A and B are shown apart, each in its own frame.
Chain A
Amino acid sequence: MAYIESLIPGIKMFIKGRGCIIALTSGAILAIYVYVLESLSTHYTVLALTITSTISAILMDNFILVNTLRGLYVSGAPPSFIRRVLLCYGLLISMTISLPLIITFKCWFKLVTPILTFIVAYTILTFMYKRLSREGIML
């Protein structure tokens, strides 16, 4: 229970931020592309576009992310707690982008899309956290 409750800041970041709107809109538009243009080259192009969409969604929430990380740091959150929150947020963003695409994509693209977007999201978030810690922007 305590583990699930520790994810609350990550869920709040996702709900209150604008990143989720970007993620949902991008996912839906890309899903329509896939549905209308069924060629394999379109699938690859859309897969590449999910990466930029994921990055855009996270950058849109930059202010909320920095604010939340600072709040957690001041309150005495250990690095493992902060990483857990980022993991939760990254998972929610990647699933929001991927879900519409999973419906319209065919074959192995269904599997690759959520994994790829999650890896991109968590990598960006980890870099952001490390940069904040290194440059002392936390406080």
Chain B
Amino acid sequence: MSMDITIWLRDVWKTYVDGERVVTALKGVNLSVKRGEIVGIQGPSGSGKSTLLKIIAGIERPDRGDVIVEGYNLNMLDENGLAMLRNTVVGYIPQDLGLIEELTIYENIELPLLIAGMPRNERRARVLSVMEYIGLKGKEKAKPSRLSGGERQRVAIARALVNTPTIILADEPTANLDWSNAVKVLELFRKIRDDFNTTIIIVSHDPRVMKYTDRSLLMCDGFLSENKLLE
């Protein structure tokens, strides 16, 4: 495996039991992503896109197959190891953003640093600099519920970015946005990649999103392949 590869999956299978029905979400998925690459995964609902993202983020474990993220074999990590991965290596943005509505924007973004045990002064400097970078300066004390959809998305991106991860995984980041706001978010991802050489995977059902990625893949019925729909 080349040093340039940050995410490497080989023959990954994942099956769910839904009542009496057995659903195979991933069927032998192979994937390798280079450092600094923006990869888009397109596919219809229920095709296994989000499951794939959760497996890369260490939120779910595969039934079979190898998942290596930044040199860590995820099958070998326990719960604490996977939490460390989510805290420092991978910034995960779930579809519903996972913001804590009771905390302010500042406190939401600060959370990964608090978990990492960073001193207060250092945390403050880091959070304020990320907020300025993302375009949220002056909204420190606002609650997530007071923000627009685009701003909420930015808060989730800031929280994912604050601990300087090498990988960002975004699950349907434009799903709840109008297209003009979606473009702003997608351009922000490109800026992050250009500035920090961050590897980014964007999952979306919207084919327009794929134009903002370096490489587009198609997820269909648990199988991952090159996306030829855009050609």
* Residues on A facing B (Cβ under 8 Å): 1-2, 5-6, 8-9, 12-13, 16-17, 64, 67-68, 70-81, 136, 138-139
Given contacts A5-B114, A79-B80, contact A136 B92 (CB under 8 A): no
Interface size on B, residues (CB 8 A): 31
Q: Main SS of chain A's interface residues? A: helix
- What are some 21 contacts across the A-B interface (CB < 8 A)? A1-B120, A2-B117, A5-B120, A6-B115, A16-B102, A17-B102, A71-B99, A71-B100, A71-B103, A72-B111, A73-B86, A75-B86, A75-B159, A76-B112, A77-B83, A77-B87, A77-B115, A79-B80, A79-B83, A81-B83, A139-B54
Given contacts A5-B114, A76-B112, contact A139 B98 (CB under 8 A): yes
Please determine whether A13 and B83 come into contact, CB atoms closer than 8 angstroms.
Answer: no
Question: What total of A-B pairs shows CB separation below 8 Å?
Answer: 79
Residue from the set A80, A136, A138, A139 with the largest chain B CB neighbour count within 10 Å:
A139
In the complex, A109→B102 CA distance in Å?
35
Please determine whether A74 and B83 come into contact, CB atoms closer than 8 angstroms.
Answer: no
Contacts of B107 in A (CB 8 A): 8, 12
Task: Tell me, rounded to whole Å, the shortest Cβ–Cβ distance linking A7 to chain B.
Answer: 10
Q: Main SS of chain B's interface residues? A: helix
In the complex, A79→B112 CA distance in Å?
14
Verify if B94 is at the interface (C-beta below 8 Å from A).
yes
Please determine whether A74 and B86 come into contact, CB atoms closer than 8 angstroms.
Answer: yes
Verify if B187 is at the interface (C-beta below 8 Å from A).
no
Please determine whether B94 and A12 come into contact, CB atoms closer than 8 angstroms.
Answer: no
Given contacts A6-B114, A76-B115, A139-B94, contact A68 B102 (CB under 8 A): yes
